[in-house]
């Protein structure tokens, strides 16, 4: 089964991911790809508190994830891969490593320079550029907060 969801969500592991997506996808593992968290055991432990008992959490850098990605894609375990921002997922996708995959944008919140595109998605020029770059790498990007909700295509996201 391998990776059942690639998601960009600033909050990483939280209820919307573990309950909303987790109840539908039933992942065995949540993999957080985040350079800052990769070496911060205390913060990792805090995120692990939000992981259901039947799942586990793993944290790694983009560099490590690029090495491990082929095996994750082939694993029998169901994996949800999370990044906190588009920069991390774009670097993971560089060179076509995610060609043919889908990336879900689920929680990019307001900050200076970003405008509301969807109730849960605020994008600025930098984010739109990264969405386009993912598309050029052969990655399909859409916005969707929860399963069962409508998906918004990357064309609408970058043109909004």
pLDDT digits (tens, 9 = 90+) for 20-64: 999 999 999 999 999 999 999 999 999 999 999 999 999 999 999
**SS3 label, residue 116:** strand
Q: Of 41-45, 78-82, 150-154, where does mean pLDDT reach its minimum?
A: 150-154
**pLDDT of residue 157 exceeding 90:** no
Task: State the total domains in the chain.
Answer: 1
pLDDT confidence of residue 160:
65
Give the H/E segment covering residue 126: helix 125-136
Give the H/E segment covering residue 123: strand 121-123
Distance CA 126, CA 157 (A): 13
pTM, two decimals, is 0.96
CATH at residue 61: 3.40.35.10
SS (H, E, C) 28-82: CEEEEECCCHHHCHHHHHHHHCCCCCCCEEEEECHHHHHHHHHHHHHCCCEEEEE
pLDDT confidence of residue 23:
94
pLDDT confidence of residue 41:
96
pLDDT confidence of residue 154:
83
**pLDDT of residue 75 exceeding 80:** yes
Residue 76 lies in domain: 2-159
- Contact in structure between 30 and 77 (CB atoms under 8 Å): no
Distance CA 94, CA 115 (A): 26
Average pLDDT across the chain, whole number: 95
Q: Among 76, 104, 74, which residue's Cα sits nearest to residue 89?
A: 104
């Amino acid at each position: 089964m391998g990776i059942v969801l690639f998601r960009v969500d600033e909050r990483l592991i939280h209820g919307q991911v573990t309950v909303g997506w987790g109840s539908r996808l039933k992942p065995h593992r949540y993999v957080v790809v985040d350079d800052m968290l990769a070496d911060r055991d205390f913060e990792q432990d805090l995120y692990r508190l939000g992981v259901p008992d039947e799942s586990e959490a793993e944290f790694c850098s983009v560099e490590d994830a690029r090495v491990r990605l082929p095996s994750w894609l082939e694993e029998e375990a169901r994996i949800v891969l999370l990044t906190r921002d588009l920069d991390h997922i774009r670097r993971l996708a560089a060179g076509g490593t995610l060609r043919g995959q889908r990336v879900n944008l689920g929680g990019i919140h307001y900050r200076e320079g970003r405008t509301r595109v969807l109730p849960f998605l605020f994008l600025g020029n930098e984010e739109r550029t990264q969405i386009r770059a993912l598309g050029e790498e052969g990655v399909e990007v859409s916005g969707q907060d929860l399963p069962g909700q409508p998906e918004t295509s990357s064309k609408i996201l970058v043109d909004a």
